[in-house]
């Protein structure tokens, strides 16, 4: 199915130079005369990310995909092994799964094209513990501070968060959502 660059969104599977890619970031850039679409696409075979600036009316081939819940099991050489709910084993290249596996979860979303697993996405939100941050500042208002999560990702969290606190993070935007009370 052909769509314009203006209709693309993060998470869509596209064909670019005869390779399967996923849109990882997308933005509209307007100047005084015309609009452009800036986007980052990730090649699912080798993991290479390409930054592009396209006219809004340029056409892209969007691949039909099926989304299925998967459970991660283990790494086998250059592939990650997942299981479907019915117990079937499916494999996917490491390059297509590395971004999703940064976020620990019980269930991941697998994208299948023609019956083959081509990409894995994490759930929308993930709950992780803070491993490093400055001490909490009581009465400081609604500001944010830097924190390192247990998976090594740096995010901005609420001023009341401390080391060991669990926080809910939006995996798409990497934004702090809430502190989880124990």
Q: Where are the domains of the chain?
A: 2-62, 66-121, 125-180
Q: What is the pLDDT of residue 12?
A: 86
Closest listed residue to residue 17, CA positions, set 120, 48, 113: 48
Instruction: Give kind and range of the element (H or E) at residue 97.
Output: helix 94-97
User: Which contacts (CB < 8 Å, 24+ apart) does range 65-68 have?
Assistant: 65/13, 65/111, 65/112, 65/113, 65/118, 66/111, 66/112, 66/113, 67/109, 67/110, 67/111, 67/112, 68/109, 68/110, 68/112
Q: Which fold has domain 2-62?
A: SH3 type barrels. (2.30.30)
Measure CA of the first residue to CA of the last residue in the chain; give whole Å: 47
Helix (H/G/I), strand (E/B), else coil: 5: helix
How confident is the model over 14-52, as pLDDT tens digits? Answer: 988 888 888 888 988 888 788 899 999 988 777 788 999
Q: What is the pLDDT of residue 182?
A: 65
Query: CATH: 2.40.50.140, 3.20.20.370, 3.40.50.150, 3.50.50.60. Which one for 66-121?
Result: 2.40.50.140
The correct answer on CATH 3.40.50.300 for the domain covering 125-180 is: no
Q: Which residues pair with 23 in a beta bridge?
A: 41
Question: Which residue stretches of the chain have pLDDT < 50?
Answer: none
């Amino acid at each position: 199915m052909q769509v314009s660059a203006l209709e693309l969104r993060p998470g869509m599977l596209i064909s670019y130079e005869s390779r399967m890619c996923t849109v990882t970031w997308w933005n509209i850039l307007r100047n005084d005369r015309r609009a452009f679409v800036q986007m980052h696409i990730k090649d699912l075979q080798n993991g290479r990310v390409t930054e592009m600036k396209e006219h809004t009316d340029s056409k892209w081939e969007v691949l039909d995909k099926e989304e299925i819940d998967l459970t991660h099991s283990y790494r086998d050489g250059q592939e990650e092994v997942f299981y479907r709910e019915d117990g079937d084993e499916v494999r996917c290249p490491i390059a297509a799964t590395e971004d999703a596996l940064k976020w620990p979860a019980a269930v991941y979303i697998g994208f299948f094209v023609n019956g083959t697993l081509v990409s894995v996405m994490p759930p929308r939100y993930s709950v992780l513990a803070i491993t490093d941050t400055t001490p909490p500042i009581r009465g400081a208002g609604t500001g944010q501070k830097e924190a390192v999560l247990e998976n090594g990702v740096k995010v901005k969290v609420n001023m009341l968060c401390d080391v060991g606190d669990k926080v809910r993070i939006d995996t798409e935007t990497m934004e702090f959502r809430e502190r989880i009370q124990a």
